[in-house]
Homo-oligomer: A and B are copies of this chain.
Amino acid sequence: MKLYEIAELLGCKGIESSIEISGMNTLSDAKEGEISFLSDSKYEKEISDTRASVVILPPPKVHLLPEGVIALESDDPYMSVALLSKHFAKPIRSSEISPVIGEGTTVYPTAYIENGASIGRNCTIMSGVYIGAEAVVGDGVTLYPNVTVYRDSLIGNRVTIHAGTVIGSDGFGYAHTKMGEHIKLYQNGNVIIEDDVEIGANTTIDCAVFGSTLIKQGSKIDNLVQIGHNCVVGEHSILVSQVGLAGSTTLGRNVVMGGQSATAGHLTIAPFTTLAARAGVTKSIVSKGIYSGFPLMEHKIWLKMQAKLAKIVES
């Protein structure tokens, strides 16, 4: 897409450059030829080092741009990004190269593998499985029936995914108009699942807006778990059934989350933290420990609170 076309789409006047813009990305990850954006002032510090060729940002921030980076001024950069994201969205199909299937791999007849995908050796890809374009599956992987793997997902070695689980569905992101409508932010990123991860049945892991949602080595995830876009699940973490992680939350290694526990978005949970069943996390956790309740507190405080409440009722 040429820059003047983008400018026109976003209603930015006076931009006549016809340089080709190859993609969208964050300030820190954008490469030359890509367009980026500043929609949240906490990312301001990344502007000076960006390698993006163009940045969408509010007029008062234009002076922050390094020399040679073109500004597209927008009063609502997040909305501009959403509007533009549709034009950079990857199609469901984008390759004419037949999928590569490794030696010793069994693919059931009703599985469907898109062109451009690649599957390693000694895998079992069962009935009804879908593997999207450019997805890469390692060796010794078992995908149980009706698993869906969206395009660009990367799945490591010896990964097991149980029936009905969805890897790489679109993250839940919209910009909101003044009329109350929601403009989709098309998801540009992917999901990476490292080696030796096991995922239960009917779980959902969303792809990243930009970059990757990441499930690190050896993690074990139970049934009906929701993992939002851009989350990172640390090595050897354990997520019990019906857990929910909102977008962009990072768990350290060996975090344990009990059944139905959940976190808000954009948090960091310290390594070796244990969250009891139903715990609800709304702030980052900096020290490992056992936490309970909603709002969250140390488990021993929660027990004390329950004892006090019981006394109040008796009184």
Q: Which residues of chain B are near A202, meaning CB under 8 Å? A: 164, 166, 202-204, 224
List A residues 13-32 near B (Cβ within 8 Å): none
In contact, B164 and A164 (Cβ under 8 angstroms): yes
Q: Which residues of chain B are near A223, meaning CB under 8 Å? A: 166, 169, 172, 204, 206, 226
Within the complex, the shortest CB–CB distance from A113 to chain B, in Å, comes to 9
A51 contacts the other chain (Cβ, under 8 Å)?
no
Please tell me the size bucket of the interface on A.
Answer: 35 or more
Q: Which residues of chain B are near A309, meaning CB under 8 Å? A: 305, 309
Residue of B nearest to A225 (CB): B224
Q: So how many copies of this chain end up in the complex?
A: 3
A194 contacts the other chain (Cβ, under 8 Å)?
no
A50 contacts the other chain (Cβ, under 8 Å)?
no
Within the complex, the shortest CB–CB distance from A255 to chain B, in Å, comes to 11
A169 and B180 contact, Cβ closer than 8 Å, known pairs A110-B128, A112-B127, A242-B242: no
List A residues 225-269 near B (Cβ within 8 Å): 226, 228, 235-236, 238, 240-242, 244, 246, 253-254, 259-260, 262, 264
Given contacts A148-B201, A170-B198, 15 further A-B contacts (CB under 8 A): A110-B128, A112-B127, A127-B128, A128-B148, A144-B150, A145-B148, A166-B201, A169-B201, A172-B241, A180-B235, A180-B253, A181-B218, A181-B236, A201-B206, A240-B246
